[in-house]
Structure 1
Amino acid sequence: MSDTIRLDQPPAEVFDLLTDPEELAVWSHAFDHAEQLDPGPLRVGSRVRAGARVDGRPGDLVFEIVDLRATEVLEVEGRSDDVRTRARLTIRPCDGGSEVTATSRAVVDDEDDDLAVEPEANPAFADVAGSLLRGLEAALGERPSQAP
C-alpha cells in the first residue's frame, strides 16, 4: 500500500520529525510512546520500541532501521509477537516544500484471528500509508516551519 502527500515544510524539517523517536507517537497515531533502544544517533540497525494499539490490542513493536539517508529515506521493519511490518518513507523537494511517499506492508500471524491474516480484510491495516501521512501532515501543521 502506498500514498503520497505534499507538505509546505522542506525535506530536512520533515526528516527531522520522522527520525526523532520521541516524536513517533505525535505523528503516528498507532503509537502511545516510543523509545530508542540503542545509544547514539539513529543509523541503519538502530532499534526503536513503540507502544502500539493493533486492532484494539495493546503491545509493543520493535522497529529496526533498514535504510536511512539524510533528508531522503527512512525505512523500518517492525516486529512483535504476531505482527510484521515494513514502512518506507521517501522525501523529495517539491515547490519549496516536500513530497512524501509512504509505502507500507503489514502481516499479522495470528492463528486465532482469520481476518487478521489478510491485511485488506483488517481495518487496522487498510490504510497504514495514508494514516502515517495524515498524522505527519497534522504534526507538521501544528508547528511553525523552520524554513527561511
Structure 2
Amino acid sequence: MSDFRESIDIDRRPEDVWAYITEFTHVPEWQESATATERLDPGPVGVGSRLRITRHIGRRDIPMTMELTEFEPPRVWGMQGIDGPVRPHVHGEITPLDDGRRSRVTLEVGFEGKGIGKALVPLVVRPQMRKELPRNEQHLKDRLEHPVA
C-alpha cells in the first residue's frame, strides 16, 4: 500500500530517464533526504539486488537496506526496505509520451515502521515525505532536462 503517489512529465526519452534513475549513485542528487548510497551486490542490477541508502530523517541519518522487487527496463522498478526502523516500499513507472520523446515518471511510496519506526513513520517520516516527494520529482526533472556539466 502506498501513502503517496506523484507524477511529473520530463522532456527526455524513457531510456534516458531509466538510465539516470537506476544508476543509484544519482539518488542523493535528486532526493532531498538521501545523503549517500552504496551498492551491496556485484554484477548487473536486477530483482534481488540490494543497496544501502542513508537518509536524513528528523534529526538523524538512518541507513536503510533496500532490495529491488521489480526491475523491467525501461519502465518499472520497485524497492522495499528490508531492515531498520523505517521500511519504505517504492514503486516507480516511466510512461512514454509523444511517441517516446518525453516521459511521465510516477512514484508511489509507502512506509512500514518497526520498533521505534512505528512512532517515526506517522510523526516524522510521512510529514517529511509529503513535502519532499513533489520536490524530489522536480529535482529529477531539473537534473534530466538541464544536466550539470
TM (norm. structure 1) is 0.84
Deviations 1:78-134 (A, max 9, x none): 2442101111110011022001111110233354884x3426984223245424322
The aligned residue for residue 114 of structure 2 is 109
The aligned residue for residue 81 of structure 1 is 84
How many residues were matched structurally? 143
Is 1:35–1:48's contact at 8 Å kept on the other side of the alignment? yes
The structure that is helix-richer by fraction is 2
The aligned residue for residue 138 of structure 2 is 134
Counterpart-to-counterpart distance in 2, 1:62 and 1:102 = 19
Is 1:35–1:50's contact at 8 Å kept on the other side of the alignment? yes
Q: 1:69 Cα shift?
A: 0.4
Is 1:110–1:117's contact at 8 Å kept on the other side of the alignment? no
Amino-acid identity (%): 23
The aligned residue for residue 103 of structure 2 is 98
Any stretches of 5+ residues in structure 2 without a counterpart? none
Structure 1 residue 46 corresponds to structure 2 residue 49 = yes
Q: Match for 1:72: what amino acid?
A: R
Counterpart-to-counterpart distance in 2, 1:92 and 1:132 = 18
After superposition, the Cα gap between the structure-2 partners of 1:43 and 1:111, relative to the gap in structure 1 and judged at 3 Å, is closer
After superposition, the Cα gap between the structure-2 partners of 1:19 and 1:120, relative to the gap in structure 1 and judged at 3 Å, is same
Structure 1 residue 23 corresponds to structure 2 residue 26 = yes
After superposition, the Cα gap between the structure-2 partners of 1:103 and 1:128, relative to the gap in structure 1 and judged at 3 Å, is farther
